[in-house]
Structure 1
């Protein structure tokens, strides 16, 4: 205790200066607490055929995997698989199979296109934001 008093006396610090310094150090972390709590927008996949919206799928991480079969009146079909926060066309009866080979889409703005069936799947943020990127 005497060493601390000697240090304060030699450093020309007053007793309340330590409290002020401690408060300044603690308040320097305040922006992290305020701005560190970012709201992440939920994502959804929008299924359109020939420009007409058919349905929307919520893409939520940790969600159980399920499939959705879209079939038109001509017998053309696409089997979609939704697995958590990503989506893909698992199976289709189109000739080129490019949509199936495309694989998973999960980022905002990504698309999966099946030209023979005039189908487009687009990933969108539900709040209308443009990208998944966080700005620091």
Structure 2
């Protein structure tokens, strides 16, 4: 059966095919828009801010492909936390606190995530450098 015969027998008019094709193409517009939005978000740099007892101690830049390195925070009482920074994420690798909850929390990499060591009053918070939320909705 030829295409023309199919259209005639199915009671479809030529403009019906154009309209259906147009609607199918328009249905891909959100996919394109959100794909472009995520590409733009990938250019936003992230930072991890280290605070102890509310005072900002150090800021670490986080980015994909980052080499692994460690940073040791030690206070005057002898308490220490070893932070590991690798491939755009950060974690508390080792601490001399009793409960070790901070070590078991794992990696932080998304905007707004925190890692906390309560006995040492240490907080690590992930922030985007431009102040935007990585996973925020557009209204």
Using the size of structure 2 for normalisation, the TM-score is: 0.70
Number of aligned positions between the proteins:
134
For the residue of structure 1 that corresponds to 2:50, the secondary structure is strand
Q: Report the equivalent of 2:128.
A: 125
Which 5+ residue runs of structure 1 have no aligned equivalent? 1-28
Query: Which residue of the partner structure matches residue 92 of structure 2?
Result: 89
Residue matched to 1:72: 75
> Highest CA radius of gyration, 1 or 2?
1
- 1:1-21: CA deviation from partner (whole Å, max 9, x where unpaired): xxxxxxxxxxxxxxxxxxxxx
Alignment match, 2:53? 50
Q: Deviations along 1:13-40, whole A, 9 cap, x unmatched? A: xxxxxxxxxxxxxxxx999888854472
1:114 aligns with 2:117: yes
Q: Deviations over 1:81-117 (max 9, x none)?
A: 0011110000000011000011111111110000000
C-alpha RMSD over aligned residues: 3.2
Question: Structure 2: 5+ residue runs without aligned partners?
Answer: 1-27
Q: 1 CA distance for matches of 2:135 and 2:64?
A: 14
**Structure 1-normalised TM-score?**
0.71
- When residues 37 and 121 of structure 1 are mapped into structure 2, their CA distance, relative to the original with a 3 A threshold, is same
| Structure 1 residues 100 and 34: CA distance shift in structure 2, 3 A | closer
Cα deviation, 1:11-70, whole Å, max 9, x if unaligned, reads xxxxxxxxxxxxxxxxxx999888854472111100000000001111101111110000
Runs of 4+ in 1 over 6 A off after TM superposition: 29-35
